[in-house]
Structure 1
Amino acid sequence: ASARGDIDADLAIALNSVAIACKRVRALVARAPIAGNTGAAGGSNASGDEQKKLDVIANDVFVETLRACGRASVIVTEEEDTPIAVERASGYIVTFDPIDGSSNIDACVTTGSIFGVYAPGACEIKDTDSAEETLANCLTNSLQSGEALVAAGYCMYSSSCVFVLTTGDGVAQYDFDENVGEFVCSKERVTIPDGDKMQRIYSGNNGNVNLWAPELKDYVAHLQKGGSDGGKPWTYRYIGALIGDFHRTLLYGGIWLYPPDTSAPNGKARLLYEIAPISMIAEQAGGMSTR
């Protein structure tokens, strides 16, 4: 298995499978209105969110592609109630949100896919295990700290299709070139702007501000008045898709926040396949993350 900053053959195969899934989902998103794949699917996911048709279809694409690669032992996805045992071996733990921002699909607004690749778990999953033993071992292997991530990234489906990846040695950006059908490296090392180069933008669901902790409300009001240097007031931007808001923050600088509130004391963003991967990217790009 790879350590942070290294890519061995197994990790390369796993990441290539994720990229293949993202290319397939890109095409599905682009054709969703024509193919009749907009609107609700009629169910809810493990987090209680209403599933869109593309949530279900994209989830099947990721699961199918990762099963076929032979380098994932466990898959954790937002759209399934429990982890999926793939190979009865010590492969990587791959987590993903197949369509982040799926509420934007019908309006053709930015969406994306988020993924994390964790080190192989300590519990071996055997063919002879019972269903209960398999599930218990899957859960044990999946519930790892973000420090166990060996790779993280996302694919954004917008005016262009962008694939952002870190393996623990900086962050790179790849853009999908339709002429060759591949992701082409456009930025070898992405760093979050700081100082005078940083744009004063904060991003979060301001509609929930009255539900936030008093100190956070005060901090946002402080930004709106110009921050600690008393300069230009910070601008508010919010797309409603983590990927779109974070990618802007990655390239322009600023703050992205999704705090807990009185209606969700533990927050709503998911640690394994959203916050931990995004935090790894932010830190590898020179930023920071905190709870």
Structure 2
Amino acid sequence: MATKDVNTASSARDVRTIDEVVEVIATTAPEIRTGLPSRRVAAEDQNPSGETQMAADIWADELLCERIGALEGVGEYASEERPESIDVGNGPLSVALDPLDGSSNLKPNNTVGTIFAVYDAPLPAHGRDIVAAGYVLYGPVMTMIVARDGSVDEHIIYDDASYELVREDISLPENGSVYGFGGRVPDWTDEFEAFAREVEQDDSRKLRYGGSMIGDVNQILTYGGIFSYPALESAPEGKLRVQFEGYPIGYVLETAGGASSDGTKSLLDVDKDELHARTPVYIGNSDLVAKLEAALE
């Protein structure tokens, strides 16, 4: 499960395009953050997954679509807020985003983020087609995680849209110290609940769950441990979208030397042919994810 064997860009042109995608996301992030206070209200529509959209969801999607779509090397753009991918050019790479992960957290003023993945294939693509992925976390400090070319790096993004590399080649801490499990407890499967109770009994680990996946994932990347949005009795495929959340987060964690799983295999090996398909998500230190898979057998 743990691996540094990840996809890399296949040409100088692709490398340049990835650089440009990362730059667009970084330089757009301060504008998105500044615009959130006036867009904390629900929009009239639902997204393709049937969730109520916030005004901020739609606005962030439109901003990023316009700017990423203008890049010469990008051929397709897709997001959680759109029913289908759209052709934006003739470039070989595709970009898929969750423009504002955790937007329901805007009302209580909790953590939100932007998740992105660059695929060397048409959409919907496969996890093994990713050549770069990452996220922006709109926390007390605005940071961006980028996984590419076998390395995970962290940048601080400043209000003037400049950004600075602050950590290179991040690896998960060997002894994970936090955990977070999503979904309603009465809706957990018996097997997952038994695993969760075992994790809770370890005094060396602390519960960290904020209801914004990207904030919870960043806790795992920082401290090590395990995060799960599991298969539920009412939703065997879980809640999170493969293309926009499962693949990119799996790519980040595996590039950092951790593991990802849908309960039986790496998230990067999940095979779904619908743009908005869902998957259970389990990510963290390799030993904990292996125990999780054994518990679910």
Q: Does 1:96 align with 2:97?
A: yes
Measured after TM superposition, the shift of residue 109 of structure 1 is 1.4
Would the aligned equivalents of 2:13 and 2:73 in 1 still touch at CA under 8 Å? no
Aligned 8 A contact 1:151 1:167 in 2:
yes
Q: How does 1:142-181 map to 2 (within 5 A)?
A: 142-178=123-159, 181=161
- Equivalent pairs counted in the alignment come to 257
| CA drift at 1:39 | 0.9
2:222 corresponds to 1:241:
no
Could you say what the CA RMSD is over the residues aligned between the two structures, in angstroms?
1.9
- Aligned runs of 1:219-238 on 2, under 5 Å? 219-226=195-202, 232=203, 234-238=205-209
Q: Identify the structure with bigger relative contact order (alpha carbons < 8 Å, sequence gap 6+).
A: 2
| Residue 290 in structure 1 maps to residue 261 in structure 2 | yes
The residue that corresponds to 1:217 in the other structure is 193
Contact 1:14 1:69 in 2 (8 A): no
TM-score, length-normalised on structure 1?
0.83
Q: In structure 2, do the counterparts of structure 1 residues 7 and 181 end up closer, same or farther at CA, with 3 Å as the change threshold?
A: farther
Q: Percent identity?
A: 29
Runs of 4+ deviating beyond 4 Å: none
> Is contact 2:70-2:88 (8 Å) kept?
no
The answer to whether structure 1 residue 13 and structure 2 residue 17 are counterparts is yes
Deviation at 1:72, TM superposition (A): 1.1
Q: Distance in 2 between matches of 1:25 and 1:58?
A: 9
Please tell me the residue identity of whatever aligns with 2:228. L
* Contact in 2 for aligned 1:118/1:151 (Cα 8 Å): yes
Contact 2:17 2:74 survives alignment (8 Å): no
- 1:202 aligned partner, one-letter code: Y
Structure with the greater alpha carbon radius of gyration: 1
1:233 is displaced (CA, Å) by 5.4
Q: Which residue of 1 aligns with 2:172?
A: 192
**TM-score where L is the length of structure 2:** 0.81
Question: Runs of 5+ in structure 1 lacking a partner?
Answer: 122-140, 227-231
Q: 1:258 and 2:234 equivalent?
A: no
Distance 1:249 1:74 in 2: 31
Q: Give 5+ residue unaligned stretches, structure 2.
A: 1-6, 263-297
State the Cα distance separating 1:181 from its structure 2 match. 3.2
User: 1:273 and 1:176, CA in 2 relative to 1: closer, same or farther beyond 3 A?
Assistant: same
Could you tell me which of 144, 161, 181 is aligned with 1:204? 181
